[in-house]
Amino acid sequence: MKIFIFFFLSTVSCVVSAWECGDYDKYSQSVGQHLEIASDVFFGRVLSGSVESEGENGFDVSIEVDVLLEVKGDLEDRITLFTHSQPPFPEFILGGSYVFFLYGNTSLDFCNYLIETAVPIDSLDELREYSKRRDIRSVEQVREVLMYIEGNLNK
């Protein structure tokens, strides 16, 4: 019986998915590094989303995002972003607020840095007030974004 189990397990392969992050990697790089290498960084709110069969861009989820406060880049007031519906890809809440980091395209994968915020932030004053809070888990990351903005204002 042990021989059969060994033979069975050694001949049947398991389905495994593996990915490797490129120049940007939320798992091994700090917020500051992402602020430097990202082409676009902005505070936004998810307005709508749709799940479809895999489209021509290779993704099955599109989300419409209201750009509230630009940190880096030059974007329109609204942007459509693309991702996949299955983990490890990011999940979004309709009406949810996030800091989005884009790297030269409009796709979001598991390597993209993404910070969820508790409330929509659409001005520098609101960002300063938000970053004073101590009851929100991601506030340290948001403070780094604020320091980046203020550092670039003084240049």
pLDDT given at position 155: 64
* Model confidence pLDDT, tens digit, residues 2-36: 665 655 556 655 554 555 676 765 656 788 888 99
Q: Cα separation of 26 and 46, whole Å?
A: 21
Q: Cα separation of 71 and 33, whole Å?
A: 14
* Model confidence pLDDT, tens digit, residues 53-76: 766 566 788 899 999 999 999 999
Q: Cα separation of 88 and 103, whole Å?
A: 18
Q: Cα separation of 92 and 89, whole Å?
A: 10
- Contact between 90 and 26 under an 8 Å Cβ cutoff? The reply is no
Q: Tell me what percent of the residues of the chain surpass a pLDDT of 70.
A: 78
The one-letter amino acid at 7: F
Q: Cα separation of 47 and 66, whole Å?
A: 6
pLDDT given at position 19: 57
Terminus-to-terminus CA distance in the chain, angstroms?
73
User: Which tokens hold the place of 26?
Assistant: 């939320």
* DSSP-derived secondary structure letter, 103: S
pTM for this entry: 0.81
* DSSP-derived secondary structure letter, 26: T
